[in-house]
Amino acid sequence: VGPGSQEGQACWARHGRAASMSRIMRPDDANVAGNVHGGTVLKMIEEAGAIISTRHCNSQNGERCVAALARVERTDFLSPMCIGEVAHVSAEITYTSKHSVEVQVHVMSENILTGTKKLTNKATLWYVPLSLKNVDKVLEVPPVVYSRQEQEEEGRKRYEAQKLERMETKWRNGDIVQPVLNPEPNTVSYSQSSLIHLVGPSDCTLHGFVHGGVTMKLMDEVAGIVAARHCKTNIVTASVDAINFHDKIRKGCVITISGRMTFTSNKSMEIEVLVDADPVVNNFVKRYRAASAFFTYVSLSPEGKSLPVPQLVPETEDEKKRFEEGKGRYLQMKAKRQGQAETQA
């Protein structure tokens, strides 16, 4: 969504290194439960981040560039957004390294009948500036001025942590999701799903590679299919663990978005989503892993209340290993939330 676009007539404001956008949620933004699709929210978050980071990276004289999404930190869906509400997305640059930009984004929903507003999402995104002359060339980022020295130190720690985790994720994401004939219910194979998509011009930036928000929306759709197949109920996105973008996806590629269940708690499901790109018109480039993430979903009754989730039955050693890893992430996040609640109390 951008200034003057037919979809939403977005309104933009810029104050230094911040930007905001507003758009009313329409029926075609809905998921099957009637709320706004999680992928739609992720797409808006990425669009706001891409605009403010591209603006900043071109704020000084030098080679022109476009900011490409490299990573999205964990984002929680704190409250559902309804059709007819207005989404307010605000983005701010909070740290810059030599070759990357950190953008923090907040999403508020507004009931325009009552004026009530609520926070629905918070996310942190990392972008890298790519030269318009050569999109494989990463340029330097203009520095920002911090109001406090502690802000720069805290930002540097976040930068080092995400850089290390992004590399570790790339190393361990070599496997692929293989189909299985006649799988048993509640197994990984029973609910795993894939979507094949030909990347067209409408999916891409003006420079020929896919918008990060387009990829995230497709990933959320596949994760939602996996969750619905597993529990046979309405499902909604509860959170997204870090989304890592390992490589660019160019126009004309065929992408395969694969999802598989990795872990279930009593009331949540963790789904791993992998994106592989196949440059079918280029014999010199092989299929490669472009992105990966973990999505967490919850099961809902027709009245919108949380339901128990059928327990996943891992069969192979790899599935059992991924289940234990998912359990570790679940317990770690649960402890973190409890700690935050105790601090606030």
Phi, psi for residue 341 in degrees, rounded to 5: -65, -40
The first and second tokens of residue 259, run together, are 């999802």
- 136 catalytic, yes or no? no
- Find, among 33, 10, 90, the residue nearest to 231 by Cα: 33
Q: List the beta bridge partners of residue 20.
A: 13, 90
Catalytic residue among 31, 35, 121, 244: 31
Residue 220 to residue 227: CA distance in whole angstroms: 10
Residue 275, burial from CB neighbour count under 10 angstroms (0-12, 13-18, 19+): buried
CA dihedral 128, 57, 54, 258 (to 10 degrees): 0
Expressed in angstroms, the distance from the first to the final Cα of the chain is 39
Q: Which H or E run includes 237?
A: strand 234-240
CB-based contact 73:49 (threshold 8 Å): no
CB-based contact 260:321 (threshold 8 Å): no
- 220 catalytic, yes or no? yes
CB-based contact 58:64 (threshold 8 Å): yes
Catalytic residue among 29, 220, 241, 276: 220
Residue 163, burial from CB neighbour count under 10 angstroms (0-12, 13-18, 19+): middle
Residue 275 to residue 303: CA distance in whole angstroms: 34
What amino acid positions are annotated as catalytic residues? 31, 220
